[in-house]
A and B are shown apart, each in its own frame.
Chain A
Amino acid sequence: MPSFFSDPMVQSSLLPLTLALVLTGLLRLLLGPVRGRRIANLSVILSFFILACLIQGLIFPPVGSTHKIPYLLGGLALVALLVDLLPVRGKALMVLLVVVPALALGWLNATRWAGADSELLVKEALLYGATLLVLWSLFRQRGRGLDGVVELLFASVGFAAISLMGASALLTTQGFALAACLGGYALWNWPRHRFALGGGVLMAAVGLVLLINQALLLTDTSVLALALLLPVFFADSLFSPLEKRWPLNDVTRPLVIALVCLLWVLIAAGVSFSINPITADAGY
């Protein structure tokens, strides 16, 4: 049984999906119809944190940035809990969404700042800028069904595929695990939308940014391919002008958004493949 749970295929699909599915239901059940609905999305970051611990293990004290990821995800889960429990809303939440990723990236790269060259600073500035855009996009989608969740799910799938081509199976496993966590949560919200997008999903997006940071700085992952994932977070805006003509409901809307996201992910993965192709002689 332990080897079943340590199988990367299980860790990146069945396990996170089931865990998020069960945790979402449990949170709703235990915390009641009002608070439970609000906090249910905590299952996403919580499941992702548990999976990261399982995939990487917990090294104490965390020396390298890779070892810091599970600790940071644990911290993000705590922030998410506070955001949804209190709840933190409006401008206070916006300030939090600016500060939290800055602190997380700051600590993740702590050993690099002293000898930082211009390449590192440019990469980090661009990543932070993109993070703010992503969080703003998700922030504006609160209470709008599954849009943001589907976008983050496909961005995670895209990241996993691209990082596989950049030669990091560890990041790939975690990327797919995050997508599966979002999938488990999404199953509760489709075809009927039940729970609000809150701190749990927003902090999971910060978690994805941390993985992207690792891919950017430690692997040969294509920067261009990663940048092409950014429009995924605006898939809902892409067809909103057409919505007046062809109105969508809670059932069809996530499917259409998923199709738009899939298209973008395929483009990004295609660009990555043209730069770092996967070949049969990968040596695994």
Chain B
Amino acid sequence: MKLKKLVSAASVAAVCASAMVSPAQAEVEHYVLDPAHTETLFFISHLGFSNMPGRFAELEGEFHYDKDNIPASKVTVTVKTGSVDTFHEKRDKHLASPDFFNAAEFPEMTFTSTSIEMTGDKTAKMTGDLTLLGVTKPLTLDVTFNREGLHTFNKKDHVAGFSATGSFKRTDFGMGFGMPGKPGGIGDEVELRIEAEGIRQ
């Protein structure tokens, strides 16, 4: 009898609480990254001669976009390190080895935003935790919100897209192979360029 009363009291409380919270949460929209239109590109110095590009073929992520309070928005991205693609199969195999991404031991690299600071109408600095090779360090990205609206062709999906740039030192994460930071070595600084689209759920 006592248990029944407790359960019904808890149910009433939960309904009341959700009714109170709902108006505020209505502004927060949940988007899932569209892998077909999301690219994480990186550039790294090859022995000082050129800045070679690469990408990760497999990633997934989502963001909670609060239109009225953008700093409250949240982004999480998970990248499969074994999907590193520098347009050269043998080099990709080497990049996935313990020399660099150590994909067998650390199959994922993650980014979780911790704060967003608006710097203009459509630009912001997004800071978050980047976890690579089991080491977590802060990473700040310069983000530009490009467009949000109905998909031009299918008229069904509500899409939000943004671009981001940033950089980090690979040695901060224990990726020290190949004389990083030395002239004639493989670069330490990794330049990032992210192009992403999310589909509202």
Contacts and interface: CB of A to CB of B under 8 A. Distances in A.
A219 to B, nearest CB: 5
B174 A218 contact: no
A59 B185 contact: no
Nearest to B92: A283
A7 B179 contact: yes
A217 interface: yes
B179 A6 contact: yes
Contacts of B171: 57
Contacts of B134: 63-64
Nearest to A65: B105
Nearest to A172: B99
B184 A3 contact: yes
Nearest to A281: B90
A3 B183 CA distance: 8
Interface secondary structure of B, over-half rule: loop
B88 A283 contact: yes
Interface string A27-70: 00000000000000000000000000000110100011111000
- Most chain A Cβ neighbours within 10 Å, of B93, B98, B99, B185: B98
Contact of B98 (A3, A6, A214): A214
Given A3-B185, A57-B174, A64-B134, A167 B97 contact: yes
A169 B133 contact: no
A177 interface: no
A170 B86 CA distance: 20
Contacts of A2: 182
Contacts, number: 79
Contacts of B90: 167, 279, 281-283
Given A6-B182, A283-B88, A63 B97 contact: no
A137 interface: no
A281 B90 CA distance: 8
Interface in B133-190: 133-135, 171, 174, 176-179, 182-185
B94 interface: yes
A10 to B, nearest CB: 11
B174 A169 contact: no
A218 B176 CA distance: 17
A7 B178 CA distance: 8
A169 B99 contact: yes
Contact of A59 (B99, B174, B178, B182): B174
Interface of B: 86, 88, 90-91, 93-94, 97-99, 102, 104-106, 133-135, 171, 174, 176-179, 182-185
Would you list the 4 A-B pairs with minimal beta carbon distance, nearest first? Answer: A283-B91, A63-B134, A59-B174, A3-B182
Given A3-B183, A283-B88, 17 more contacts: A56-B176, A57-B176, A59-B135, A66-B174, A167-B90, A167-B97, A169-B94, A169-B177, A169-B178, A170-B97, A170-B98, A170-B177, A171-B98, A214-B98, A218-B97, A218-B105, A279-B90
